[in-house]
Amino acid sequence: MPIAYTDLVALLQGIFVRHGVTPEVASVLATNCATAERDGAHSHGVFRIKGYLSSLASGWVSGTAVPVVEDVASGYVAADAAGGFAQPALHAARPLLVAKARAAGIAVLAIRNSHHFAALWPDVEPFAEEGLVALSVVNSMTCVVPHGASKPVFGTNPVAFAAPCAGGAPIVFDLATSALAHGDVQIAAREGHSLPPGSGVDRHGQPTCDPAAVLDGGALLPFGGHKGSALSMMVELLSAALTGGHFSFGFDWSQHPGAQTPWTGQLIIVIDPAKAAGVPFAERAQTLVAHMREAGVERMPGERRQRNRARAAAEGIPLKAEVLAQLRQWAGQAV
């Protein structure tokens, strides 16, 4: 049953507001979640609403927090999300971050005391749409065993990158540093699929392809062995040690049954490529992409999402009837 993007945003906003979230925060979260669903980023689309609501109901995350933005230095902005979500903090800090990046050539935004329960690319793609290069990292909750270790320490810890590219959409990629995102393990368990070999271990530390065994006391592995493990460590350092947020192992939600939103930190680095020497950056990006195409690359990261986005604009966002009915029920609408 297709739904228009703007209608989905409004529906999700209504759900958040009905569950105690301020209209400002609800607007940011609803837009983020509808954008993910529209682009076919299913592990962080409407599937996540149940987790948002149970986390809010548990008192673990604040839906009314007002972020505090701090002008720290010429290239450094900090934001205290005040126990709320990271995206409203980004929203509040964004004008100062962009102004600093354009003035100095580079600026960082260090968000702490924040919950991030979403895909990361929506946080960086808009910078590239206005000609900037952006890199972001966020840590999550302990469920990934470092390479060579015997118990989980890291979160699934994604890295997202966006850059302008002449003649087309920005180049955007966004990937968990674990073999799979935790959301995809949950979806595999729900749909009865097994995981690719090398994704995770069971509660005894034995390799398993069973998503239920990973979720039930097991853990994920980093992608690419020691390489993904090093990147995941970097994400912990930048998202937590640098921002003042919690490490993925550093918070205890056991007293909040239903809590699912990791309480950590996020770093965003924004670079103004107008400061770069020589041929404009976006043209050089286009040259690189042309060479990749010529070498046989058929699918660039982000292209699947762009295709889904175009399809959703023409036909609406496909949602199962029972999913739409559940959303409408949460919004207090007649089903």
In sequence order, what DSSP letters do the residues of 214-274 get, joined into one string?
HHTT-EE-BTTTHHHHHHHHHHHIIIIITTT---TTS---TTSTT--S-EEEEEEEEE-GG
Counting contacts by CB under 6 A, is residue 117 touching ligand PYC?
yes
Site residues for ligand PYC, 31-50, by CB under 6 A, read 43
Q: Which of 151, 193, 203, 304 binds ligand NDP (CB under 6 A)?
A: 304
Q: Which of 122, 146, 183, 222 binds ligand PYC (CB under 6 A)?
A: 183
Q: At what angle do helices 5-18 and 49-57 cross, to 10 degrees?
A: 20
Q: Which of 34, 69, 163, 181 binds ligand PYC (CB under 6 A)?
A: 181
Query: Could you say which of ligand PYC, ligand NDP, none residue 175 binds, taking C-beta under 5 to 8 angstroms by partner kind?
Result: ligand NDP
Using DSSP, state whether 28 is helix, strand or coil. helix
Query: Could you say which of ligand PYC, ligand NDP, none residue 267 binds, taking C-beta under 5 to 8 angstroms by partner kind?
Result: none
Site residues for ligand NDP, 49-68, by CB under 6 A, read none
Q: Which of 156, 199, 229, 260 binds ligand NDP (CB under 6 A)?
A: 156
Query: Could you say which of ligand PYC, ligand NDP, none residue 246 binds, taking C-beta under 5 to 8 angstroms by partner kind?
Result: none
Residue 184: active-site member: yes
Q: How far is the CB of 61 from ligand PYC (least distance, A)?
A: 12
Counting contacts by CB under 6 A, is residue 121 touching ligand NDP?
yes
Cα-based angle 146, 148, 150 (whole degrees, multiple of 5): 75
Instruction: Identify which of residues 62 and 140 has a Cβ nearer to ligand PYC in the complex.
Output: 140
Q: Tell me the sheet residues that pair with 128.
A: none
Q: At what angle do helices 23-38 and 86-104 cross, to 10 degrees?
A: 80
Counting contacts by CB under 6 A, is residue 120 touching ligand NDP?
yes
Among residues 225, 245, 42, 91, the alpha carbon closest in space to that of 235 is found at 245
Q: How far is the CB of 242 from ligand NDP (least distance, A)?
A: 17
User: Sign of torsion, CA 297 302 304 306?
Assistant: negative
**Choosing from 19, 27, 39, 43, which is the catalytic residue?**
43
Among residues 24, 51, 117, 46, the alpha carbon closest in space to that of 328 is found at 46
User: Structure tokens of 88?
Assistant: 């409203």
Residue 74: active-site member: no
Residue 194: active-site member: no
Q: What is the DSSP letter of 162?
A: E
Query: Could you say which of ligand NDP, ligand PYC, none residue 138 binds, taking C-beta under 5 to 8 angstroms by partner kind?
Result: ligand NDP
User: Structure tokens of 147?
Assistant: 């390479």
**Residue of minimal CB distance from ligand NDP?**
119
Distance from C-alpha of 167 to C-alpha of 25, rounded to nearest angstrom:
34
Instruction: Identify which of residues 12 and 159 has a Cβ nearer to ligand NDP in the complex.
Output: 159
Positions touching ligand PYC (CB under 6 A) are 43, 117, 140, 156, 176, 181-183, 262
